[in-house]
Amino acid sequence: WYKAHHGFEFSETSRDMGFCSHAILGDDPLIVNDTLRDDRFADNPVVLGDPHVRFYAGVPLHAADGARVGAFCIVDSKPRTLTPAQLRMLQDLARLVEEELEPRSEAKAG
Beta bridge partners of 56: 32, 75
Q: Residue 56: which of 2, 110, 108, 106 has the closest Cα?
A: 2
Number of domains in the chain: 1
What is the strand order of the sheet 30-32 is part of?
30-32, 55-62, 68-76
> Is position 33 within any domain?
yes
Question: pLDDT tens per residue, the chain (110 residues)?
Answer: 345 544 555 554 545 557 888 999 999 999 999 999 999 999 999 999 988 999 999 999 999 999 999 999 999 999 999 999 999 999 999 999 999 987 655 556 65
Q: Write down the pTM of the prediction.
A: 0.81
> Is position 11 within any domain?
no
For residues 5 and 55, is the Cβ–Cβ distance under 8 A?
A: no
Supply the CATH number for residue 87's domain: 3.30.450.40
Q: Residue 51: which of 13, 1, 92 has the closest Cα?
A: 13
> Is position 12 within any domain?
no
Residue 96's domain comprises: 20-109
